[in-house]
Amino acid sequence: MAKPMTKAQTVTYFSDKLGVTRKIAAAFLDEQAKLAAKEAKNGFTIPGLGKLVLVNRKARMGRNPQTGEAIKIAARRVVRFRVAKAMKDSVLGGKKK
Q: pLDDT band at residue 2, thresholds of 50, 70 and 90?
A: confident
Amino acid identity, residue 32? Answer: Q
pLDDT digits (tens, 9 = 90+) for 30-72: 999 999 999 988 999 999 999 999 999 999 999 999 999 999 9
Residue 45 burial (10 A CB sphere; 0-12, 13-18, 19+)? middle
pLDDT digits (tens, 9 = 90+) for 82-96: 999 999 999 998 766
**CATH 4.10.520.10 for the 43-97 domain, yes or no:** yes
pTM: 0.73
Which sequence spans correspond to the domains of the chain? 1-39, 43-97
3-state DSSP assignment of residue 66:
coil
DSSP letter string, 1-29: -PPPPPHHHHHHHHHHHHT--HHHHHHHH
> Which residues, in sequence order, are CB contacts of 50 under 8 Å at separation 6+?
81, 82, 83, 84, 87
